[in-house]
Amino acid sequence: MKVTINTDEKATGPKKQRINKGPGKRKVSEPVAGHSFKKWKILRWSSLIFFNFAFFASFYFDIQLLEGSLSASRLLGFHMMDPFAALQIVLASKLILPNLVIGTVTVTIIYFFIGGRSFCSWICPYHLLAEIGEVIHRKLVAKKLIKNHTFDYKTKYFLYVLFLVLSFTTSYSVFEVINPVAALSRSFVYGPSILLFWVAILLAFEILYARRAWCRYFCPIGVSYNLIGILAPTKIKYDVDKCSNCKECQKVCMVPFVLIDTVSKGEKEYVTKGDCTRCGLCIDVCADEALSFSVRYLDKIM
């Protein structure tokens, strides 16, 4: 990796001298006038709250807006289905049913356009809890009360295959028993269940031991969206000319390794890894406005 040392004292002014690792061409991270540090976070949290409330309200007030739970639902009458749950059901029951196919294809198409794991950061109720947990985790780490631990990012792929194989061999959707996202979603809609303890344990593990462990390393639900997202045109665009290599984006990112190709190496113009949740935290935090949402291919034509 190329390492350059910024020795331009005048340009950095009163700021601390910083060692730059990366391709960014700017010397200093200066807030661009009019840059909003909360824009995407506000939009995203609104979406998270709106959709999860819509699930609750559809049953509680009997308005046929978004019926069901996150495993399978009907949005204004159209079937929607979680691809991982659907795959498990197909492997377990050895049946392929029309509604299941319709629901899965609809979800695949939608997330192809809005960008793969955007499900995680814009819809998933566990993400909402985990994001709050992350704030606590980072505060505890800052106070040196706890240490962060890491696992292999690839563990989730292993779990994805493992649970699919298990579905086939046991003829039962094993993962759906311990699925914290579905458990949380069902609890919102149909009232709390004992499974919430399991969600609480996961959350405690994330807060006290490993930052965002479930979403980062383990969640197989996200893997389906990850795979859809690799080809999805909605991506984060990186402008090397505006970047000052402050690395703030990687500090806030749930899956910082997705930014390596762009922010660390400057090899790519877009964040192409499927794990990117399009949460927009990096865009919010980037004072240089080097990162932005963009539709790949389309912005080339325009």
Partner 1 sequence: MAEQPKKNFKVNRRRFVKTSTLFIVGAAAALGTGAVPILRSNEKRLRPPGALEENHFLASCIKCGQCLQVCPPKVIKLDGLMGGFSVGTPYITPREGGCILCSGLPCVLACPTGSLDHGISLGKEAEMGLAVLSKPRQCLSILGVNDLVFRLEKIQSSGNLVPDENLTDILQRLVEKLDDKETATWKEKFGLQEVTVKEVPRVLAKMNRENFDWLLSFTKDSEQAKVGCRICLEDCPIKDENPISFHKIKNEDLGKDVFVPTVEKTCVGCGVCEERCPTEEASITIVPRMKWKGNA
Q: Which of 279, 240, 224 is nearest to 256 (CA)?
A: 279
Tell me the C-alpha distance between 283 and 286, whole Å. Answer: 5
Of 255 and 290, which CB lies nearer to partner 1 in the complex structure? 255
Residue whose CB is less far from partner 1, 47 or 93: 93
**How many C-beta neighbours within 10 Å does residue 272 have?**
17
Please, which residue, 53 or 158, has the CB nearer to partner 1? Answer: 158
Select the residue interacting with partner 1 from 28, 57, 128, 195 (CB under 8 A). 195
CB of 51 to partner 1, least distance (A): 15
- Nearest distance, CB of residue 42 and partner 1, angstroms: 30
By CB under 8 A, residue 150 contacts partner 1? yes
Options 166, 252, 287, 295; binder of partner 1; rule CB under 8 A: 166
Shortest distance in whole angstroms from residue 159 CB to partner 1: 7
**Residue 78 binds to partner 1 (criterion: CB under 8 A):** no
Q: Across the chain, which distance is largest between two alpha carbons, in Å?
A: 69
Q: CB of residue 294 vs partner 1: minimum separation in angstroms?
A: 34
Q: Which span (105-113, 132-140, 180-188, 243-251) binds partner 1, by CB under 8 A? A: 180-188
- Residues 302 and 294: their CA atoms lie apart, in Å, by 12
Phi, psi at 20, each rounded to 5°: -90, 130
Interface residue with partner 1, options 24, 68, 274, 280 (CB under 8 A): 68
Using the rule CB under 8 A, is 120 a contact of partner 1?
no
Cβ of residue 144: shortest distance to partner 1, in angstroms?
A: 18
Instruction: Tell me which residue has tokens 């969600």.
Output: 199
Q: Which is nearer to partner 1, 9 or 152 (CB)?
A: 152
The pair of structure tokens assigned to 173 is: 């959707």
CA distance 219 to 179: 9
Is 46 an interacting residue with respect to partner 1 (CB under 8 A)? no
Sheet-wide strand order for 66-69: 66-69, 72-75, 78-81
Alpha-carbon distances, residue 174 vs 4, 84, 127, 162, 264 (angstroms): 51, 12, 22, 10, 39
Report the site for partner 1 in 205-244 (rule: CB under 8 A). none
Residue 91, H or E segment: helix 83-93
Among residues 255, 258, 247, the alpha carbon closest in space to that of 212 is found at: 255
Q: Give the residues lining the site for partner 1 (CB under 8 A).
A: 58-59, 67-69, 71-74, 79, 81-82, 85-86, 89, 92-95, 97, 99-100, 103, 149-152, 155, 158-159, 162, 166, 169-174, 176-177, 182-183, 186, 189-190, 193-195
